[in-house]
Amino acid sequence: MKEFGAKHQLALFFVLTLFLGWFWWVQMVLNLWPQEYIIVPSSLGGLSPILTLVILQKLSSQKVDLDGIVKTAQVGRTHLLWLVIGAFLLPIIFTIGNLLNYALGFDTQLILLNPGPDELGWALLAIVPLTFFPGLITSPLFEEPGWRGFALPKLQAKFGREIGSLLVGSYWWLWHQMSNISFGLYPTILGYFSMLGQSFAIDSMFNLSRRNLLVAMFAHQSLFITFTYLYRSSSCPSIMVVVALIWIFVALLRYREWKLGLPYSLSSNEPLEKPIE
Read off the pLDDT of each residue in 259-263 and give the average, rounded to a whole number. Answer: 95
Read off the pLDDT of each residue in 137-160 and give the average, rounded to a whole number. Answer: 97
pLDDT the model gives residue 94: 98
Q: Is the omega angle on the peptide bond into residue 271 within 30 degrees of 0, that is, cis? A: no
Read off the pLDDT of each residue in 159-183 and give the average, rounded to a whole number. Answer: 97
pLDDT the model gives residue 268: 47
Q: How many Cα neighbours within 13 Å face the side chain of 277? A: 4
97-131 residue pLDDT tens: 999 999 999 999 999 999 999 898 889 999 999 99
Residue 210, C-beta contacts closer than 8 angstroms, at least 6 positions apart: 266
pLDDT the model gives residue 163: 98
The yes-or-no verdict on residue 270 having pLDDT over 90 is no
pLDDT the model gives residue 244: 98
The yes-or-no verdict on residue 253 having pLDDT over 70 is yes
Q: Global pTM?
A: 0.93
Read off the pLDDT of each residue in 199-221 and give the average, rounded to a whole number. Answer: 98
Q: Are 25 and 178 in contact (CB under 8 A)?
A: yes
Q: Which of 207, 192, 185 shows the shortest CA–CA distance to 246?
A: 192
pLDDT the model gives residue 1: 62
pLDDT the model gives residue 5: 65
pLDDT the model gives residue 7: 79
Q: Are 209 and 243 in contact (CB under 8 A)?
A: no
Distance between CA 181 and CA 145 in Å, rounded? 25
36-85 residue pLDDT tens: 999 999 999 999 999 999 999 998 887 899 999 999 999 999 999 999 99
**Rounded to 5 degrees, what are φ and ψ at 104?**
-85, -5
